[in-house]
Amino acid sequence: MTAAATSPSLPIAAIQMVSAATVDANLEAAARLIRQAAEGGARLVVLPEFFCLLGRKDTDKVDIREPANDGPIQRFLADVAREAGVWLIGGTVPIASREPRRILNTCLMHRPDGSLAARYDKIHLFGFRRGEDRFDESATIMPGRTPVVCDLVEAQASWRIGLSVCYDLRFPEYYRALGTVDLIVVPSAFTYVTGQAHWEILLRARAIENQCYVLAPAQGGRHENGRRTWGDTMLIDPWGEILARLPEGEGVVAGTLSAARIAEVRGQLPALAHRTL
């Protein structure tokens, strides 16, 4: 048996959604897609940013905010992780902040028993103005402060998972702050304009410079509120090769992390070891 055959691997999946303006409909769709990914063999499943709601107004997400560690959306994530028996990264959930008019855009990672493994509050807040496209996340979201890495232990193998969300993707220094990881996840809801221009190239750059896998579940399609998100959920390997993708519409993008592939890339081109800053 070859070394590659005995090297640890981890089946993973990203879920692409076209989230609606009602929470219940989105939780139903997410549960169905999580079960589909689990039935396909995935051990880690990742949802997109604001999987639970893309409202008609920016303040709709503030209206459904939940206190930390409590609320129907958080209970849903814990329950479905346990029922499906998977590690689950719940895209993002609106969590109450110290300011009543702003929330924390929070990424939660649950273990297969439903317990909470990690929490990351999105640090970088999107702002964009071009023509009629205007976005200012800081009006309704408070930024987080701390990069987060979580160890996923599965079948006597340990994987370092770096958590990030959407606009973080444009800040390579954030990923350097994570240290050496095996997988970066980027739950997102990229706009159609910025996604068309930069989504793929930024994702591939983050995989190449950090010599790790990148899994980026996205919102992808025309939403009830009239907004169109870019989609193109994808899995990228440490050499920057796209292993799987879904251009638009809801669905599951699946693949496998390979410890042998990570070691191969880092052994052939030890760029991480060559850093001087």
Is residue 166 flagged as an active site residue? Answer: yes
Q: 52: closest CA among 19, 97, 16? A: 19
Residue with tokens 């303040």: 59
Please state whether 5 falls in left (phi above 0), alpha (psi between -120 and 50) or beta: alpha
Q: Determine which one of 107, 150, 166, 212 is catalytic.
A: 166
CA nearest neighbour of 27 among 45, 55, 50, 60 = 50
DSSP-derived letter for residue 218 is B
Question: Quick check: 96 and 140 in contact, CB under 8 A?
Answer: no
Tell me if residue 107 is catalytic.
no
Which one is catalytic: 49, 66, 137, 250? 49
Active site residue 49: yes
Q: Which of 52, 66, 107, 122 is catalytic?
A: 122
Q: What share of the chain is helix, strand, coil (3-state, %, to 5)?
A: 30, 30, 40
Question: What is the C-alpha separation between 154 and 87, in angstroms, rounded?
Answer: 9
Contact call for residues 203 and 186 (beta carbons, < 8 A): yes
Please list the active-site residues.
Answer: 49, 122, 166
